[in-house]
Structure 1
């Protein structure tokens, strides 16, 4: 990084692959970040990384090459960096260096497209609600699908977080839907369908933004470039 190039601390941590911008801010506020040996709790603090040592949880932070992986996540893997119960995580399916993290989440019982990266700025652009990045899911349910179900998904159902709506619904067969959403609430599609009396038998994310899962085999990954994602 050029000399005297000042940058917000939270942005630097995101660019370093420590975490997404929002998670980086949480790390700073919780007192886990040191600049030149001193704890800094203000995410907007500007720093010059070329002349100051930055540590997170007492580990020095060094800028790494940005990497982007598209993974076809199988059922049974957690979309997290680690798990205290030692369950399998998506990090078990991609190279260990440089260290990456999953962008957003896909619950353990679901499969399909996941993006992993060490680029916190990219993660922010894909996950922050203001960007309204659309995600497409293939969903199989336990009962016959009706036109009324599609209408209710489009008009919205009440969840704890608020009104959950599908942006688009396609009926693919008697038991299969394709649902497009930009909201990203936890287990959102499952909860929406459960509230309408349906159980999800299969949930697969097949697209996110401009990225499509395509024919990538289950459990496999491929490397992408930034232009593939934005």
Structure 2
């Protein structure tokens, strides 16, 4: 792979920007400085650095974000702040997009990738990927409501698939669903005459938020996802 393409794929900048970086002798290959954008890179064996940073080419990239409220799940928007603005500089954003959606006021686990096939598999209704949410409620939840949620409720012409409810206390539950319909968790609680006052996704398939701080990002691998 040509050096300029390699740097672009590593998310360093556009083709024009990386050529300028190369021309300033900021790149080394196996400890040797180069100013040629045409230089060939052996992806298996060559060590490429920009300054002291080793650059690693990854065809497929996966990151999880502990999303904060106030950002919409989109790659760009003319009026709203997007989740892309929460990604730190070290994240390679080239072709990156969020998998699925969290509402603007919802916090928690959001996966990003540049692999459309993996994203499709995770979002496909046929896959039934579980998602677990921490749900704080406006009023106390009773056993009848829990049973209804677990059996499936009508959220406006559609009856949800069976879910799992774990009671933290009378005003807070963990809700696990295998679907991802628009505003589904909020609509499910509306259906049992309650309201969501706080919502956070803790798990998405095999991925868990764990102790990742709010607003922070970490890189994950395909084996973490499946």
| 3-state DSSP of counterpart to 2:199 | strand
Q: Following TM superposition, by how much is the alpha carbon of 1:174 offset from its aligned partner in structure 2, in angstroms?
A: 1.4
1:166–1:180 CA contact under 8 A, matched in 2:
no
Mapped pair 1:102 → 2:95: no
Q: Which runs of 5+ in 1 are unaligned?
A: 2-15, 17-62
Mapped pair 1:159 → 2:179: no
Structure 2: how far apart are the matches of 1:173 and 1:103?
31
- The alignment's TM-score, normalised by the length of structure 1, stands at 0.69
2:132–2:176 CA contact under 8 A, matched in 1:
yes
Structure 1: how far apart are the matches of 2:201 and 2:133?
4
The equivalent of 2:16 in structure 1 is none
**Per-residue Cα deviation, 1:141-173 (whole angstroms, up to 9, x for no partner):** 010111111001012211235111442111111
The equivalent of 1:112 in structure 2 is 108
Structure 1: how far apart are the matches of 2:211 and 2:157?
34
**Per-residue Cα deviation, 1:98-150 (whole angstroms, up to 9, x for no partner):** 23100001110111000001011110111000111000011000101111110
Write out aligned runs for 1:1-230 (5 A). Answer: 65-85=59-79, 87-94=80-87, 95=91, 97-160=93-156, 162-230=158-226
- CA 161–185 in structure 1, closer or farther in 2 if over 3 Å, else same: farther
Runs of 4+ in 1 over 3 A off after TM superposition: none
2:150–2:165 CA contact under 8 A, matched in 1:
yes
The equivalent of 1:7 in structure 2 is none
RMSD between aligned residues: 1.9
**Per-residue Cα deviation, 1:9-59 (whole angstroms, up to 9, x for no partner):** xxxxxxx9xxxxxxxxxxxxxxxxxxxxxxxxxxxxxxxxxxxxxxxxxxx
**Per-residue Cα deviation, 1:155-200 (whole angstroms, up to 9, x for no partner):** 2211235111442111111100110101110110101111221111
> Radius of gyration: which is bigger?
2
Structure 2: how far apart are the matches of 1:186 and 1:161?
13
| 3-state DSSP of counterpart to 1:130 | coil
1:153–1:165 CA contact under 8 A, matched in 2:
no
| 3-state DSSP of counterpart to 1:158 | coil
1:166–1:179 CA contact under 8 A, matched in 2:
no
Structure 2: how far apart are the matches of 1:197 and 1:72?
29
- The alignment's TM-score, normalised by the length of structure 2, stands at 0.71
1:135–1:208 CA contact under 8 A, matched in 2:
yes
Q: Following TM superposition, by how much is the alpha carbon of 1:96 offset from its aligned partner in structure 2, in angstroms?
A: 5.6
